[in-house]
Every structure is written in structure tokens, then in C-alpha cells.
Amino acid sequence: MNEKNTLGLNNCFLDLSDPFELFEKWFEEAKKSEPNDPNALALSTSTKDGIPSVRMVLLKGFNSNGFIFYTNLNSKKSNDIKENPNVAMCFHWKSLLRQIRIVGKVSQVSDEVADEYYNSRGYESRIGAWASKQSSILKNRDELKNSIDEFKKKFNDENNVPRPDHWSGWNLSPQSIEFWLDGESRIHERLKYIKNENKSWYKVLLSP
């Protein structure tokens, strides 16, 4: 059995011209092997002055246009994005000994896309989007609990909780996507897809 692709890499890298196809295949494998949240990723943003910040978020959709996550538009991450739309993501699937690194620019999803996802969430999560002033300082935990109770009274019909204007999704349109496989003695295997000026992808091998 041939365990290498045409570039001499492990066959898990396959021989695909589209990085989204390879992402989908790796993501499906991660769903089978990761014990918790295979869609978890480290999201790195920075201010206009270049001060970085990183946190874990959940991927909630992807297609040929990019990778989507949702959040409060007044949160720290969203305020960073408004100042500097250049963002990086990193998936790490320890069960597979694989990583995927993505770099690109972020733009807000349409209201229709945000509404569709928001309405798929549970009642408590939809209420939380109203009640939490994400990243702001709390006087105490009761302040948040009281806010939740207030919005439950306001929106007591679980089937009719509108999406708040301050809550939506961001789509990262990638300029590069790197696939990484752990190797013996730290001799890792790295394949990077880069988008050129014609919006098509080309591949390069990276030294570990």
C-alpha cells in the first residue's frame, strides 16, 4: 500500500487542489476521534496597534468562502476585528496528531445567515446572547443572573426570541491554510496552500 502522496507526504494529505476539500476530510476524521468539541479552534486577533489576543471559539460553519464563528459584536474579539480584520485560526486535534493553521481577513456574515444559526440555538443560549455584555466587567455573578432572569421575562415564548443587533457571525476568508502532521523526532510534515492574485490556490512544502 502506498502511504505517501505525490509530494512525498503521508497519504492523509491526499492530492487535492482545493484546501477546503482537505479541511473537510480532516475535520470529519476529527469528529470521530476527538472526545470533546472537534470544532474548537484558537482564534487570534490584534488591535490596530498590533497587540495580540487569543481565545478558544467554536467553528459553526465553513464553505468555499471561509470559516464562520459567532459572537457578541461588542466583545473584545469583535472590537479587535473592527480595528484590524487580519485574523488567524488554529485547530489542534491531539487524537490525530494534526493541526490546521488558517490566516485571512474577516467580514461579518449577512443578517440572513446569522438569523438562521441563531434560531437553531437552544432557548438558554439565545437568552444569553441578550443578557451577557460579553467581555465587560461584572460587579458580581448576581448581576449576570439578574440580567438573564429579566430577559427570560421579556422573551417568555421560547419559540420567539429575536436575534439581538449586537450578536452575529464573522467569516474568515483565508489567504493561506497550512496542514500539519506530527512526525517522529520532531520532523513534522507541513503542507501550505496559498491563494494567489488570481484567487486560485497553489501548494508549498514547509520545513519542520
Containing 129, the helix (H) or strand (E) segment is helix 123-131
Return the half-sphere exposure (C-beta side, CA atoms, 13 A cut-off) of residue 102: 24
Rg (C-alpha) for the chain, rounded Å, is 20
Tell me the DSSP string of 16-27.
Answer: -S-HHHHHHHHH
Can 186 be counted among the known catalytic residues?
yes
Exactly one of 126, 141, 186, 190 is catalytic; name it: 186
Phi, psi of 137 (to 5 degrees): -80, 135
CB 107 within 8 A of CB 173: yes
Q: What is the C-alpha separation between 207 and 131, in angstroms, rounded?
A: 47
Catalytic residues: 186
